[in-house]
Amino acid sequence: MNLLDKLGRGPKREHTELDDGSWRVTVTPPAMMELPPQTLVLNQGQYIRYLNWRAGNGLIQDLLFDLTKDQREVLMTGIGAEDFVKMFPEEEEI
C-alpha cells in the first residue's frame, strides 16, 4: 500500500466476484482529479496476484505481467489511457 492510500488520499477500489469466478475491479481516482471510475475484469489467477500486489508482495509489472501497462495504471491510480491524453495533451513541436 502506498503513502496516498495510507493517508486516505488514494483511489477508491471496489471488488465484485462474478458468476464465472472472475472479479470486476472498479478503481475511482482521487476525488480532486474529478475523473470517472475505471473497471477491469480479472480472472481468478490475476485477481489473486492483484491482491498480492496490494499487500506489498511484489511489483505490479512482475505480478500482473499479462496485463497491459494501461490496465496496470488503472489498477494503480484509476486513471484510464483516455484520461491521460486529456490531462497531458502532447505539446506541439515548433
Output DSSP code: residue 89: P
Contact between 25 and 40 (Cβ < 8 Å): yes
Q: In DSSP terms, which residues pair with 41 in a beta bridge?
A: 24
- pTM of structure: 0.81
Q: Give the pLDDT score at 2.
A: 60
pLDDT score recorded for residue 33: 82
- pLDDT tens by residue, the chain, 94 residues: 565 565 566 899 999 999 999 999 999 998 888 899 999 999 999 999 999 999 999 999 999 999 999 999 999 999 888 887 777 777 555 5
- The pLDDT assigned to 16 comes to 97
